[in-house]
Amino acid sequence: MRLMYQRCAALDVHKKTVTVCTRWTQANGQVKSEVQTFGTTTPELLEMMDWLSEWEVTTVAIESTGEYWKPVFNLLEGNFEVILVNSKHVKQVPGRKTDVKDAEWLAELLSYGLLKASYIPPKPQRDLRDLTRHRVKLVQERARIVNRVQKVLEHANIKLASVASDVMGVSGRQMMAALVEGETDPAVMAELAKGRLRNKMALLEKALTGVVRPHHRFMLAQHLSHIDFLDEQIERVSNEIGQRVEGMSHRQGSDDSGPSGNESYLANDLLTWKESIDLLDTAPGVDKRAAEIVLAETGINMTQFPSANHLTAWAGLAPGNNQSGSKRRRAKTREGNRNLRQIMVQIAWAASRKKGSYAQALYRRLAGRRGKKRAIIAVARTLLESFWYMLSRNEPYKELSGDYFSNRRKEVRVNVLTKQLEKLGYAVQLEPVTLQLEPA
């Protein structure tokens, strides 16, 4: 087997300790190795780096374990060639599972180049990814608090959600504020309605008639203040994301927040982060916030993914393989980037509701015979493939229209429909009709 790395090391990382195995393959083929265990505090990790330098190690492999690999990676990055590997790809032989054996096995695989490195984005993108993921958690927390608000209203016999489509809208918020302040007259609270909700004044008065106790007012006030706090936090994080994207979109120069040069910021001389967000915004179901989340996970440089299929597999949207002999069984989708998969499914649901779109046609084509969940995964995969081509070619989204599948095999479809009519006892004679477009 061909030797790829003459001097290398492998790290088995835990919460409090790091087991390190160095491996040196000499010119005569003999292998020298040594195993030591270090702590995970910064001084102890610096001591580990000095030890690796004494061995003249050039490449280090780290097994990905939760969040514990990140402190080690932060110090090794820039000083060694670091390869982060998936623990599922380097499983040890059953019955021989120890930290030392893991490190030795990892070092041996690394020396022969049998490890597949995971995608690690540059520091500016990692920081942006942390911000977008934090914003997603804040939005989810806000949704949970809104559900608790509705729960308190139900306990107080207030049926506002049955009349108003959004209890947290302008009208609903003013009515709940009046409830907190001690208002008990439903007619007075119904007068706070705005817009089209004023057409339901009679229903509002009935819905706002309840049994509200001081306990309900206190709980409602707590939840509303929590929602206000989360709204403020979401706004601050969104502004910070906008500033980071603006800073990463500069074509010249760099700062201390990222590596020198522009190779980590720009996909090419024509595309920046800000322009990439605008580019994805042309696709159905995508807005600025969704585009920020997608790009924070994938980056704008698609060269790290050899093809669109590699990107969809990395996102966990590719079908799994379960084949034995000539039998091919059903398999779940592969595991991948959960955050990217989540936002792509949300984008797919929004795109499938756009009338006359290819995404809607694809969803309806598959949902009837494969189910809604499989259909939406297929739409998400198709859209992510489109994103890969859009970013690689610097081209906006091209809509194929909702009649794409009908026109793709038009003659076959005509023959099928003709045969169906003939089976029903009709003589069918088809004549082409020239469609006349109405003037704009």
* DSSP assignment of 63-79: EE-TTTHHHHHHHHBTT
145 and 230 in contact (C-beta within 8 Å)? yes
Last residue of one domain, picked from the residues 84, 111, 138: 111
In a domain, 116, yes or no: no
Q: What's the rounded mean pLDDT across residues 186-192?
A: 93
Spatial distance between the Cα atoms of 72 and 18, rounded to a whole number of angstroms: 9
Q: From edge to edge, which strands make up the β-sheet containing 17-25? A: 31-39, 17-25, 7-13, 59-64, 81-86
Dump pLDDT digits (tens) for 25-71.
988 888 999 999 999 999 999 999 999 999 999 999 998 778 889 99
Quick one: pLDDT at residue 254? Answer: 41
Pairwise CA distance, residues 12 & 110, whole Å:
13
How would residue 159 be classed by pLDDT, with cut points 50, 70 and 90?
very high
| pLDDT given at position 175 | 94
Decide if 258 is inside a domain.
Answer: no
Rounded to whole angstroms, the Cα distance separating 278 from 291 reads: 8
Does residue 436 belong to any structural domain of this protein? no
Strand 59-64 and strand 323-324: pairing? unpaired
pLDDT at 373 over 50: yes
Q: Are residues 408 and 275 in the same domain?
A: yes
Q: What is the pLDDT of residues 381-401, one digit of tens each?
A: 999 999 999 999 999 999 998
Which has more confidence, 257 or 337? 337
* Residue 124 CB burial class (10 angstroms; 0-12, 13-18, ≥19): buried
Mean of the pLDDT values across residues 94-120? 83
* pLDDT tens sequence across 192-205: 999 999 999 999 99
**pLDDT of 263 higher than 70:** no
Mean pLDDT check: name the lowest of 155-164, 249-258, 300-309: 249-258
Q: How far apart are CA 25 and CA 6, in angstroms?
A: 5
Q: Would you say residue 60 lies in a domain?
A: yes
Higher pLDDT, 420 or 412: 420
Residues 276, 337: one domain?
A: yes
Cα 206 from chain centre: 43
Q: Does position 256 have pLDDT exceeding 70, yes or no?
A: no
Same domain, 288 and 199: no
Does residue 300 share a domain with residue 180? no
Q: Looking at the structure, do residues 105 and 168 belong to the same domain, yes or no?
A: no
Of 152, 164, 158, 136, give the one whose Cα is nearest residue 222.
152
Task: Supply the pLDDT for residue 438.
Answer: 53
pLDDT at 435: 59
CATH code at position 64: 3.30.420.10
Look at residues 400, 393, 395 and name the one whose alpha carbon lies nearest to residue 379.
Answer: 400
Provide, rounded to the nearest whole percent, the portion of the chain with pLDDT above 70: 92
328 near 322, Cβ under 8 Å?
Answer: yes
Pairing relationship of beta strands 31-39 and 17-25 according to DSSP bridges: antiparallel
In a domain, 133, yes or no: yes
Tell me what the mean pLDDT of segment 311-334 comes to. 82
Count up the domains in the chain and report the number: 3
Q: State the pLDDT confidence band at 266, using cuts at 50, 70 and 90.
A: very low
Name which of 298-302, 391-395, 427-431 the model is least confident about: 427-431
* pLDDT reported for residue 340: 96
Same domain, 163 and 276: no
Has residue 93 got a pLDDT over 60? Answer: no
Tell me the residue range of the domain where 84 lies: 7-111
Q: Evaluate whether residue 298 is within a structural domain.
A: yes
Asked whether residue 67 falls in the same domain as residue 140, the answer is: no
Question: Residue 121: what residue type?
Answer: P
The model carries a pTM of 0.84
- Establish if 179 belongs to a structural domain: yes
Say yes or no: 289 and 189 in one domain: no
**What integer best gives the mean pLDDT of the chain?**
88
- Compute the distance between CA of residue 202 and CA of residue 382 in angstroms, rounded to an integer: 47
* 434 in any annotated domain: no
Average of pLDDT values for 298-306? 92
Please tell me the predicted confidence (pLDDT) of residue 213.
Answer: 94
Residues 183 and 61 in one domain: no
